[in-house]
Amino acid sequence: MPELPEVETTRRGIAPALEGRRIARVIVRERRLRWPLPRDFARRLAGRHILRVRRRAKYLLVETDGGTLLAHLGMSGSLRILDRRVAPVAHDHVDIVLDSGRCLRFNDPRRFGSLHWVTGDPAAHPLLARLGPEPLAPGFDGDYLWQRARRHRVAVKQFIMNAQVVVGVGNIYASEALFRAGIRPSTQARRVSRVRMRALATAITAVLGDAIRVGGTTLRDYVNPDGMPGYFRQKLYVYERAGEPCRRCRTPIRQVVQGQRSTYYCPSCQR
């Protein structure tokens, strides 16, 4: 599943080809995405000028002079910039054709991804309105996490994976950030001290920042905006390393299940 770093990598990849261009037309080959595309979807986008491409959590926001295209990649979606004459292949559901002769092509084999056309303030859209802060933006820090944790009895790992607390901390990044901060994932969020929450916020920002720098972690079905598979993988300390020696202390990494997700930690480094 594309995580926040892959979505940010996609944004950086597609934005230069989109910003400043006009949408010449839209080709819809498959309406049945996670939410069906409305009949007038293509007509409403045609002719719009694209101002900029932003990201909020794992949504891409293509802002135009008449509304915003809200795109989510779901489990297996990708957005690529191609010459519009390149013949579509299986699962190429939508083309946003630009006045430059290129197109933004949405491919999604499993169709858990979505496209919405939003007029008005996109931040007020029901999909975005209740999201917590961005982990890479000012305002996200350990004091904020500590304050929010007062009311949470859940384990700290589930706390930081809650999108209403902070967006974009998926399973890989939660495990890795807790390792870097030296915090046992099962610790109740409200029992983590302010000082350790500061270390955790710093670790979350660092693991996501590192992942963006290398273009996102490896995903077997993830394709970069330039069409290359996402083979890059940052050095992982605990994720999917059960039984292997900790890179710091050589203690075998443990795997447990928390909230139906696998959690990995070092029983010696994380207390």
Site of interaction with Zn ion (CB under 5 A):
246, 248-249, 251, 266, 268-269
Nearest distance from residue 179's CB to Zn ion, in Å?
Answer: 8
Partner residues linked to 55 by β-bridges: 60
Between 213 and 248, name the residue whose CB sits nearer to Zn ion: 248
Between 70 and 269, name the residue whose CB sits nearer to Zn ion: 269
Nearest distance from residue 241's CB to Zn ion, in Å?
Answer: 11
Nearest distance from residue 172's CB to Zn ion, in Å?
Answer: 18
Q: Give me the residue whose beta carbon is nearest to Zn ion.
A: 246
Nearest distance from residue 238's CB to Zn ion, in Å?
Answer: 9
Tokens representing 10 are: 């996609």
Between 193 and 251, name the residue whose CB sits nearer to Zn ion: 251
Between 17 and 246, name the residue whose CB sits nearer to Zn ion: 246
Between 48 and 196, name the residue whose CB sits nearer to Zn ion: 196
Nearest distance from residue 135's CB to Zn ion, in Å?
Answer: 24
Catalytic machinery residues: 2-3, 58, 261
Q: What is the DSSP string of the chain?
A: ---HHHHHHHHHHHHHHHTT-BEEEEEES---SSSPPPTTHHHHHTTPBEEEEEEETTEEEEEESS-EEEEE-TTT-EEEEEETTSPP-TTEEEEEEETTSEEEEEE-SS---EEEEE-S-GGGSTTTTT----TTSTT-SHHHHHHHHTT--SBHHHHHT-TTTSS---HHHHHHHHHHHT--TTSBGGGS-HHHHHHHHHHHHHHHHHHHHTTS---TT-B-TTS-B----PPPSSTT-TTSBPTTT-PBPEEEEETTEEEEE-TTT--
Q: What is the DSSP string of 84-124?
A: TTSPP-TTEEEEEEETTSEEEEEE-SS---EEEEE-S-GGG
Between 194 and 248, name the residue whose CB sits nearer to Zn ion: 248
Nearest distance from residue 253's CB to Zn ion, in Å?
Answer: 8
Which of 107, 204, 127 is CA-nearest to residue 159? 204
